[in-house]
């Protein structure tokens, strides 16, 4: 009980940190930047990213460098909050770390599949080396799937990847690896929410994750059906086993022909009804925009520290994704209004 009251400091701290988010003007100005260097310079001079980017040579910064620095800020900000939140803070900081570790494992597997495993080193974020349970330097040294398993020794990932070792002469089942890792990640999160929270906090936390994962599954179904014309079994195995969608609803979604029909089937579900009015420019966007709405409401009005903290983490992640999208858009010389369509935050 005492720890719950002590956690209340999160409410003020997270909201104060959220108050330093990018403003509408910041977004407009960023869209008008002409190069990655200009974006970096703008972030240094006008936003809360100044501290993490201070000292960089904004003239010569590359996209990958900028992304790594911004991700580092997300880590550091979340770590500040997690220190105060006794009930589930360690879990959410663990969630962020696990997500990053999974991204690194998938990244090294992509390099391995492309036949350039040693070049994973170049994209490896150095700030993670001190925090991660994985020895990233060993991972960067891996030349085969077995080397990767060895580098993952002592972590739960090894046991997850072991059964997915490719047979000689067969390609790696990347999708299965991705699914196994993310199932492990979200399974842990759900377990903790169920065991360590209750009442309104539990309800609100579950709403955030359920909404996110329901929509993630929905997007996967659309993608796999539309772009890859995958069959029922493949799609079913590619979905994350979480969320509120019932078996028959998932079957309806998979059975529907074409995107409008899948959308219609989704609108029959409770999450579909709730998110029906969310404006989006392409299907993939609906998940981030829905989460943005839920988390923005929670960070403003929830009185549960764990919910406010998680909302802050999600909102910061979305802001980070928006900056990365702006950087990508500017690199590929897209017009500002086209880049704007890619953003989660578009109310400017």
Considering only 8, 65, 259, 325, the residue that binds another protein (CB under 8 A) is: 65
Min CB(217)–another protein separation in Å: 22
The answer to whether residues 99 and 79 touch, using CB atoms and an 8 Å cutoff, is no
Residues 127-156 that bind another protein (CB under 8 A): 137, 140-141
Chain centroid to CA 260:
26
Chain centroid to CA 77:
16
How far CA 117 is from CA of 145, 155, 217, in Å, comes to 10, 20, 30
| Residues 322, 346: Cα–Cα separation, whole Å | 10
Largest CA distance in the chain: 58
Of residues 301 and 332, the one with the C-beta less far from another protein: 301
| Residues 286, 214: Cα–Cα separation, whole Å | 11
- Stretch in the footprint of another protein (CB under 8 A) among 53-61, 162-170, 209-217, 227-235: 53-61
Of residues 177 and 205, the one with the C-beta less far from another protein: 205
Min CB(164)–another protein separation in Å: 27
Q: What is the DSSP letter of 167?
A: P
Is 207 a binding residue for another protein by CB under 8 A? The answer is no
Considering only 45, 60, 187, 348, the residue that binds another protein (CB under 8 A) is: 60
Residues 243-302 that bind another protein (CB under 8 A): 264, 267, 276-277, 297, 300-301
How far CA 252 is from CA of 91, 117, 224, 257, in Å, comes to 35, 41, 15, 10
Q: What binding mask, one character per residue, do residues 313-332 give for another protein by CB under 8 A, x or -? A: --------------------
| Residues 47, 21: Cα–Cα separation, whole Å | 8
Min CB(264)–another protein separation in Å: 8
- Stretch in the footprint of another protein (CB under 8 A) among 192-200, 218-226, 241-249, 339-347: 192-200
Considering only 19, 199, 233, 257, the residue that binds another protein (CB under 8 A) is: 199
Number of other CB atoms surrounding residue 341 within 10 Å = 14
Considering only 57, 130, 248, 257, the residue that binds another protein (CB under 8 A) is: 57
| Residues 249, 239: Cα–Cα separation, whole Å | 13
Is 348 a binding residue for another protein by CB under 8 A? The answer is no
| Backbone Cα Rg of the chain | 21
How many residues bind another protein (CB under 8 A)? The answer is 34
In the numeric block, the tokens 């770390």 are attached to 97
Q: Where does this chain bind another protein (CB under 8 A)?
A: 32, 34, 55-57, 59-60, 62, 64-65, 118-119, 121-124, 126, 137, 140-141, 198-200, 264, 267, 276-277, 297, 300-301, 303, 335-337
């Amino acid at each position: 009980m005492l720890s719950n009251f002590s956690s209340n400091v999160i409410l003020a701290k997270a909201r104060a940190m959220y108050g330093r988010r990018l403003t509408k003007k910041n977004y407009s100005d960023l869209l008008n930047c002409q190069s990655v260097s200009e974006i970096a310079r703008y972030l240094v001079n006008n936003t809360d990213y100044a501290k993490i980017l201070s000292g960089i040579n904004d003239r010569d910064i590359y996209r990958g460098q900028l992304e790594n620095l911004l991700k580092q800020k997300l880590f550091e900000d979340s770590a500040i909050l997690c220190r105060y939140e006794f009930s589930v803070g360690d879990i959410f900081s663990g969630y962020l770390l696990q997500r990053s570790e999974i991204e690194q494992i998938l990244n090294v597997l992509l390099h391995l599949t492309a036949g350039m495993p040693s070049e994973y080193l170049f994209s490896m974020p150095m700030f993670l080396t001190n925090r991660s349970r994985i020895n990233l330097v060993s991972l960067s040294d891996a030349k085969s799937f077995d080397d990767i398993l060895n580098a993952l020794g002592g972590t739960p990932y090894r046991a997850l990847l072991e059964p997915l070792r490719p047979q000689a002469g067969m390609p790696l089942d990347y999708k299965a690896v991705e699914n196994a890792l993310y199932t492990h990640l979200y399974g842990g999160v759900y377990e903790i929410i169920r065991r360590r929270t209750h009442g309104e906090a539990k309800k609100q936390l579950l709403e955030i994750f359920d909404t996110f994962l329901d929509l993630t599954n929905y997007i996967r179904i659309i993608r796999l059906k539309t772009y890859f014309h995958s069959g029922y079994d493949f799609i079913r195995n590619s979905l994350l086993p979480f969320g509120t969608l019932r078996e028959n609803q998932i079957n309806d979604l998979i059975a529907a022909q074409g995107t409008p029909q899948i959308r219609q089937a989704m609108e029959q579900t409770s999450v579909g009804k709730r998110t029906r009015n969310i404006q989006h420019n392409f299907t993939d966007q609906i998940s981030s925009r829905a989460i943005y709405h839920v988390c923005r409401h929670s960070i403003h009005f929830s009185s549960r520290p764990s919910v406010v903290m998680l909302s802050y983490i999600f909102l910061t992640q979305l802001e980070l994704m928006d900056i990365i999208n702006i950087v990508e858009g500017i690199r590929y010389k897209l017009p500002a209004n086209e880049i704007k369509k890619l953003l989660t935050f578009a109310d400017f």
